[in-house]
Every structure is written in structure tokens, then in C-alpha cells.
Chain A
């Protein structure tokens, strides 16, 4: 069974293999609802992380070996609640963080090679299922933190990664689920179930912009770190491109709308830039077996 795809493409970077390997992993994946797949790019290696109802799997980037399997503890969850892992991000050059349906964020310490992966910490600030996790993609200003976690209630937490993770700020919910989040140059970009995109200062949690961007649930946000372009995809069939401008010294923040693309009769489930400048992007949708790629003419 295919879950609604959230497209995640590897960003090509020198010296690292990009893109999906055509070879399938030899392990037969259980036919359960897979929630997410994400490339985690660390300085020494790239791992493919998959989450599902049963737990978390980590593969070498060519899919040849499963290096780690973490089963979710069903006992931690109240009965009659769905159990799953959701939200994946590489952080701090050393960790992979994965969220769970109970609101916990598992921090995995990843060695430069081999399978000796351990849970170094469990972050317990969220009370609702984690929806998304994002690491700083640019340069964080001092004290701004380099990781943001989001949950079903719409609460966001900003963290500083390290041997011990520190909570930097907490952004309260306003009554709507936060479905996706990105962090860039100390700015948190959050997409919500009511179609809104909000920008917050990561260091203080202050609201800086509120965009009524979509007429339906936002499924995907992506950010091109070299230009500050933001991409949003939602159930209303639209994909929007925005331009974020952030001057680190004056801390001024601007956002403007660049482009709208309507994918006719399709609820957009995934949207990702295909390059770090944001000159092209890929879109997936419900009931769509194709990936649509858009680029500059």
C-alpha cells in the first residue's frame, strides 16, 4: 500500500551520492502504512531513515544494509491511540532526531560508520504527536537554536543540539495543527492545517509574519538555503513559492509571494526543491503515480 507521498529528494552536494538508488533494500518492508522516508545527511555518512507504525529503520544510503531498527514502545501510548513515528531530521552534524505519536522526540547518536547507533536523549516537551522536525539550514544567529520540533496541536519547540539538547524557546499553539516546519537563518517557517504559513524568530519565539497562503491543509514546506526561497504545497491543489529575506545584522525579515502553480484536481502531498537555489521543484499528490517537476523556462 502506498501512503500519500511526501517527496523528499536528496540535495546534491559534492562528494556525496545524491538521488535514490535504483536497487531496493533486500529486507522486505512490512506492508504497513509507511509514514515518511528521509535522507539524513551527516558530515561522514548519509543514512536513509524510514518511519512507520512499528518503528524506525535506518539504511545505508544505497539501501543495501539496514544499520538500525528501533521498535516503538506501545506501552508508552494510551490505549486506542495510533502508534507511529513521524518527523525526521539530521542535526548538529552528529544526530538524527525522530518524533513519535506520543510527543517524544528520540535523539539518535550516529557514529561516522558502522551500526553502533544509540539513543542519546529523549526530548519530552511535546504532549501531542510530533508532525515534523527541522534543522537549521543556514546560519543561526547567537542563541537562536538549531533545531525545531512541531506537533499536532500546533506547538513548536526550538532547541540547541549537543551532548545535551537545550530548549531555547517555545512557540504556543493557536488552535491549529502545525503540519510542517523549516528553520533558516534563525527564522522558523511553519505550515498549518488551516492553510497558514507563519514566520517566527527562533531565538525568542516572536511571531513576525502570518500568511493566509492556502485554502486547505498545508502538507509540505521546503526551503532553498542559498536563496531563502520557500515552497508550500497543500490540499487546495496549489504550490506556492515565496521569497524570504533575512539580514542577519539588522534582523529585518521580509517575505513576498513569487509564484503560484495549480496542479489541477490534485491534492498536493509533497513538494521539494530540486536544487539549493530553488530554481526547480518536484511535486507529488494523492492518487498520483507521477512526480511532477517544475523548472524555470
Chain B
């Protein structure tokens, strides 16, 4: 039976998960150039991370947590105004993580080390290379339309599960607009002199951006994507959008034999081998996190989850 969580418990779980995630060996594996993981592989790693401490989740709550994570991530990648902004989003995540462990210099150091590695690896990539990374990520999340209540409430997601793409607001820090917030056209003669300028309305309502976000270890990122969604605490739910023809492609993917399966399992074993998992000791009872309002609801959710959305987690014992 789950007892009340105390602040000490919360801090413990937070620290454990962050320590595990930013473990040197794990990060070394992640930074090796490689293809994107399969959905199964990603879910397996995520499960392992979520259970890195004294917190436990049942299948249904784990599924829900993962759904939430994927939709939030999809939202952030999709809405990046410029391809390079996925790096700023990453930095926003790291800034928030650093704040969670600000009282633990050891863990803080690990996170900073990863931060530096990210800067070193990605700062020099071109817009085209970032766009390729972004497109690859978007293909991974294609056809996922799980409704998240926090997104529905904030009107960033429609009731059909698709995200709202605003056609007003600041243009990315590479676009020029003119005084009336319209887009415009300039013509030049053979001497290079501007001979004509026309403005035209598109139906959008754009404004000039303030400034570019910082790509340094510390700085104002300007971009809000990737900042803590729960800085104002509110309840969160996810809703399956029900079976639709789009989900048929998921079912097909699970059935077809993957010729790279062996290679992938080996890779996963290496990756998970770098995750130092602390199993709760004899006297520690551990805490179960239920993302539903009652235990019965959680059980019901596990039974009624659409088959197409099952993640088929791989169990790997990667002890060293």
C-alpha cells in the first residue's frame, strides 16, 4: 500500500533519476553517432529510467507517462520556429534539470558536463543538418495523436489530437518583416539597385522577434518551448484518440520481422548496462506512482488500452 510521499522522497527520486540519466557511461553511448532507436527500444530505455529510484509504476501508469512524454516532445519539436531551436529546447530542459539538483554539486557537475558535450557536438551544425535531425524525429512521431488534457486546456492541441500551429506571433530570428507586420517583396535591376518594393498580406499576423536565444552554458534562451510545463501545477490526463485508420501503420510495424533486431538488442544491452540502477534495499518499501485517480481506474486503463498502442517493452537483464 502506498504511503504519503514526503518532500524527502520526491527529492530522492528526482536525484536518483537525474544521476542515472546523466551517468557518464550512458551519455558516452548516447553521443555515439547512430540511427534513431526503434519505438520498442526507446520505450525500454524510458522504462528503465523511470524505475531508477524507489518509485514504481504499473503498466497502465507507465503507458500513460510515456504517452505524455512523447506528445510533449512531439509538440516541442514540431513547433520549433527554426531547425536550430531544437538545441535551445534541449538547453531549456537542461536548465530546468540543473535547477532541480541545484543543492547537489556532484550531480550538477554531471549535467554541466553533458551540457558542454552538447554544445561541442551540435553548435556547429548547419540549419540544413538540424532540419534533417528534426525531420527524422518528426517521422518517428508521425501519426501519434494522443490527446493530453494540459494541451487541450491551453488550446495548443485540438480535440482531434493535432497540434495548433499559430499563424501569428514572432517570426523566427532569421526572417525580416516590414513595418506593417506584413511580408514583402523587393526587386532589383541589373546594377543591383532596388527598384520596387511591395507588401502583401497573407492572413497571418507576424511581429519582429526580440532577439536570439543564447546557445551558451548559461543565458536567456528566449524560446519558451521546452520549459517546465508544470511550473503551475495542474492535473494531467491523456486520452487515446480511439482506433483510427492512421493507427493501422503501427500494427503493421510490430508484425514485420526486424532484420536488425539482434543488433538492436545488443545495442540496448550496452546502453542499459551503463545505467546504474539502484534496487530498493531491504528496509525501503518503495513508492508506487499512479497517474490515474484511483487504483481501479488504473486497472481498467490497462485492460482497455487499444492493441495498436501497446509498446511491447523488451526486458533486458544487463547486469555487469
Contact = CB atoms under 8 A, between A and B. Distances in A.
Interface of A: 1-4, 31, 33, 79-80, 82, 128-129, 131, 151-153, 176-177, 179, 193-196, 206-217, 236-238, 240, 253-257, 260, 262, 264-267, 286-287, 289
Contact of A217 (B33, B131, B143, B164): B131
B247 to A, nearest CB: 11
A287 to B, nearest CB: 6
B246 interface: yes
Q: Tell me which of B138, B165, B245 has the highest count of chain A C-beta atoms within 10 A of its own C-beta.
A: B165
Residue in A193, A209, A256 whose Cβ sees the most chain B Cβ within 10 Å: A193
15 contacts: A79-B33, A177-B131, A179-B128, A179-B131, A193-B83, A193-B174, A194-B174, A206-B190, A207-B192, A212-B175, A212-B178, A217-B131, A236-B167, A256-B185, A257-B198
Contacts of A1: 139, 142, 253
Given A195-B171, A196-B175, A213-B183, 7 more contacts: A82-B132, A128-B126, A177-B127, A212-B175, A238-B202, A255-B187, A286-B142
Contacts of A255: 185, 187
Contacts of A209: 185-188
A129 B187 CA distance: 29
Interface string B90-124: 00000000000000000000000000000000000
B168 to A, nearest CB: 9
Nearest to A195: B175
B187 A237 contact: no
A215 to B, nearest CB: 5
Nearest to A242: B185
A253 B195 CA distance: 12
Nearest to B34: A80
B48 interface: no
A243 B171 CA distance: 25
Contacts of B253: 1
Contact of B138 (A214, A215, A237, A286): A286
Interface centre among B127, B177, B178, B203 (most CB of A within 10 A): B127
A210 B175 CA distance: 12
Contacts of B58: none
Contacts of A237: 165, 167
Contacts of A179: 128, 131
Contacts of A266: 165
B126 A177 contact: yes
Contacts of A128: 126, 128
A130 B262 CA distance: 34
Given A3-B139, A207-B192, A262 B203 contact: yes
Interface in B190-206: 190, 192, 198, 200, 202-204, 206
Contact of B83 (A195, A213, A217): A217
A85 B145 CA distance: 31
A233 to B, nearest CB: 13
B162 interface: yes
Nearest to A129: B128
A257 B142 contact: no
Given A211-B185, A217-B83, A265 B163 contact: yes
Contact of B78 (A131, A193, A215, A267): A267
Interface string B122-154: 000011110110011011001101000000000
A264 B164 CA distance: 8
Given A212-B183, A255-B187, A286-B142, A176 B127 contact: yes
B256 interface: yes
B183 A153 contact: no
B139 A2 contact: yes
Given A2-B139, A193-B127, A31 B174 contact: no
A212 B187 contact: no
A121 B256 CA distance: 39
Interface string B192-235: 10000010101110100000000000000000000000000000
